[in-house]
């Protein structure tokens, strides 16, 4: 009896250890899914997590993201680890068809084998299966064959694997792994070439994270450009932005609001610090004149003698929050003076924000109390152009003027922001 009792105790301990390890692996996989922001693309607001259905524009038509729950009929329930790995890092589905690179497998190629396995365990054992058929694309039939994607991959997709840079410490390399890989920051922030390929996938190329236009938003330059990039941001500024969506320089908007809500606000302090260390190391794409504050606009607005086009419109629509000085009330109301979005050569984001407003920022499920209102119903294209041009030429800002035609084009292609962002549940 004593021996049986001892054996039972040992078995119970082993099972307990195995269960704890399995739970740890699942938690790790969930964290990695957060870092990769998988839920944002593979879910729709109000829908089931990871069941797909989000529509995405491509140069050849609109596609819908797929069901990646473990449902065996409509999801990935029949995927082996090797099947999952091939889809994640090489862009080839279980049945052999090639995925469109809207799925950021060129970035996920960086992922380590252990992280791929942890993600697989999470999706197979912790995500509830959802039986929901995938939506068809509207790509014309003559453009729908997938075999050209094999050629695209051969030309542009990097080989799987991550090689630490011996010239940098472990923290920097962790940041590189997250930014270049799981975070797939380049998918939005790196300009694309003639075949819709990202022009670079790593820190050694000045095109990487140099900024790009995506769906009428200008994804910011994340390099050390002193006017239009992060050249004046400290590591603490970057950490605050990724954790809350705010800092003293700017606030998140557009799809970056969803990244904050569903991904970066959940990362550990160590990982946020690693990302910041990596980003502050990226040299500027070009020499820029540092922004310096000029009080002339504030003086004119305060005296009521601002005669520049757009000045009166600014005073009536913007000044209450962003102030005569353009300094606003950071971190929650972003400044316009010296803001990289305002100084950006591409005015798309600024036009979009004025027209369509922003959703409140949500960090770890907690919404803030501030949002940019939309003015598309109150202001004409000419008036929006005048206000945006005024902002881009005031308080020391020096950015090109904006035309009514530019505003009209963005108005036609965009819609008002939602009243709120609801963080997507992962389980």
| Contact by Cβ (8 Å): 126, 29 | yes
Identify which of 348, 364, 155, 333 has the alpha carbon closest to the alpha carbon of residue 251: 333
Query: Of the residues 114, 132, 150, which one is the last residue of a structural domain?
Result: 132
Per-residue confidence (pLDDT) for residue 3, from 0 to 100? 54
* Counted domains in the chain: 2
> Does a structural domain hold residue 125?
yes
**What residues contact residue 176 under an 8 Å CB cut-off, 6+ apart?**
162, 164, 165, 168, 202, 203, 278
Domain-embedded: residue 168: no
In whole angstroms, give the CA distance from residue 400 to residue 380.
Answer: 20
Can you give the residue range of the structural domain that contains 114? 23-132
In sequence order, the 6+-apart residues with CB closer than 8 A to the CB of 412 are none
Query: What pTM did the predictor assign?
Result: 0.91
Tens-digit pLDDT profile for residues 158-177 = 999 999 999 999 999 999 99
Percent of the chain with pLDDT over 90: 82
Domain harbouring 364, CATH code: 1.10.760.10
Q: Is the pLDDT of residue 219 over 80?
A: yes
Query: What length does the chain have?
Result: 427
Q: Residue 285: inside a domain, yes or no?
A: no
Among residues 78, 100, 132, the one where a domain terminates is 132
**Tens digits of per-residue pLDDT, 2-47?**
555 544 454 444 344 334 444 566 899 999 999 999 999 999 988 9
Q: Do 233 and 249 meet the contact criterion of CB atoms below 8 Å apart?
A: yes
């Amino acid at each position: 009896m004593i021996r049986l009792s001892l054996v039972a105790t040992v078995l119970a301990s082993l099972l307990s250890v195995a269960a704890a390890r399995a739970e740890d692996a699942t938690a790790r996989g969930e964290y990695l899914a957060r870092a990769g922001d998988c839920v944002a693309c593979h879910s729709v607001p109000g829908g089931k997590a990871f069941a797909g259905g989000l529509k995405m524009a491509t140069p050849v038509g609109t596609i819908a993201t797929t069901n990646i729950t473990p449902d065996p009929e409509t999801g990935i329930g029949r995927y082996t680890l090797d099947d999952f790995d091939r889809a994640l890092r090489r862009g080839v589905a279980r049945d052999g068809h090639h995925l469109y690179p809207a799925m950021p497998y060129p970035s996920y190629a960086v992922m380590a084998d252990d992280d791929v396995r942890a993600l697989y365990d999470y999706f197979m054992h912790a995500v509830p299966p959802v039986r929901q058929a995938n939506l068809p694309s509207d790509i014309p039939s003559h453009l729908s064959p997938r075999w050209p994607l094999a050629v695209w991959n051969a030309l542009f997709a990097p080989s799987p694997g991550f090689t630490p840079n011996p010239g940098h410490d472990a923290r920097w390399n962790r940041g590189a792994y997250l930014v270049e890989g799981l975070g797939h920051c380049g998918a939005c922030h790196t300009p694309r070439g003639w075949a819709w390929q990202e022009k670079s996938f790593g820190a050694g190329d000045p095109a990487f994270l140099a900024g790009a236009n995506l769906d009428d938003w200008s994804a910011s330059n994340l390099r050390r450009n002193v006017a239009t990039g992060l050249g004046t941001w400290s590591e603490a500024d970057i950490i605050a932005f990724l954790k809350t969506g705010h800092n003293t320089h700017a606030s998140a908007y557009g799809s970056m609001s969803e990244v904050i809500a569903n991904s970066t606000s959940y990362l550990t302090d160590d990982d946020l610090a690693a990302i910041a260390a990596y980003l502050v190391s990226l040299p500027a794409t070009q020499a820029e004149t540092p922004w310096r504050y000029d009080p002339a606009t504030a003086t004119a607005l305060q005296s009521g003698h601002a005669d520049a086009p757009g000045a009166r419109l600014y005073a009536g629509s913007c000044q209450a929050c962003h102030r005569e000085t353009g300094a606003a009330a950071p971190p929650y109301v972003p400044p316009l003076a010296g803001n990289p979005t305002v100084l950006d050569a591409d005015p798309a984001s600024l036009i979009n924000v004025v027209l369509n407003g922003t959703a409140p920022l949500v960090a770890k499920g907690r919404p803030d109390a501030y949002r940019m209102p939309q003015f598309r119903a109150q202001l004409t294209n000419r008036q929006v152009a005048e206000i945006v041009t005024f902002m881009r030429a005031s308080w020391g800002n020096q950015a090109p003027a904006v035309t009514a035609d530019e505003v009209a084009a963005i108005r036609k292609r965009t819609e008002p922001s939602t009243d709120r962002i609801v963080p997507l549940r992962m389980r």
